[in-house]
Chains A and B, each alone.
With several copies, the nearest count.
Chain A
Amino acid sequence: MELTVHLFGITRDITRKSRHTVVLEEGSSVQDLLRRFYTEYPELEGLKSLVVAVNDEYAEPTQVLNIRDEVALIPPVSGG
């Protein structure tokens, strides 16, 4: 399945993209998605944290992804 992942802040700077399309096997998890990003952009390993949001909610690493999910990488937030 093909997923378009939204990128913000430093992840946008590292990837030089605000969206990145990833092709994953059916049944892939949040962890699988993150592994793919770390392989493609090793600089992401240097971040204090990196989590995934699915449909505007923080997702557990084991959560299985669906083709209709809206997915985003969330580097450490710093609002306020």
Chain B
Amino acid sequence: MIAVTDQPIDIQACLDAVQSERAGAVDVFIGTVRNHNNARSVVRLEYESFDSMAIRKMTELAEEAARRWPVEKIAIVHRKGVLSIGDVAVVIAVATPHRAESFEACRWVIDTLKQVVPIWKKEIYDDGEEWLEAHP
């Protein structure tokens, strides 16, 4: 399951999507909206996505993960739109036969997603707002 959605992410649906009788391990990464960043108080977030390219890049991540590790099933779902504190922004679930590879593959996917998938995060503070990573 690969998706970008403006609706709350259904984590159970992600888990159901990676269910496999051959898998003994599922590692799930859940990225949520924190109430602060770099000592500034965050009021809400806005995620913007270039959907068609984001889906393409997420699909490539899933394929590359399956080449590097014995992945049985994988789910990558990213939220877009306005998010409040505590909301789930991204879920990555990776099912593999053994646990070491589930951790490694899941971590590689989130690390690489943050570098290559065209999704942008704006943090809104009490006293302003900022597109993350935009400036040096």
Asked if A and B form a direct contact in the complex, defined as CB atoms under 8 angstroms apart, the reply is yes
Contact call B114/A78, Cβ cutoff below 8 A = yes
Name the CB-closest residue of A to B25.
Answer: A80
B56 contacts across to A, CB distance below 8 A: 56-57
B127 within 8 A of A: no
A8 contacts across to B, CB distance below 8 A: 48, 50, 118, 120
Name the CB-closest residue of A to B53.
Answer: A56
B131 contacts across to A, CB distance below 8 A: 9-10, 13, 75, 78
**How big is the A interface, by class?**
20 to 34
CB < 8 Å A-B pair total: 80
Q: Which of B83-106 contact A (CB under 8 A)?
A: 89-90, 99
B118 contacts across to A, CB distance below 8 A: 8, 53, 72, 74, 77, 79
Bound-state Cα–Cα, A70 to B44, Å: 32
* 16 pairs, A vs B, C-beta closer than 8 Å: A8-B120, A10-B120, A10-B131, A47-B134, A53-B118, A56-B53, A56-B56, A57-B56, A72-B50, A78-B120, A78-B121, A78-B133, A79-B117, A79-B120, A80-B31, A80-B113
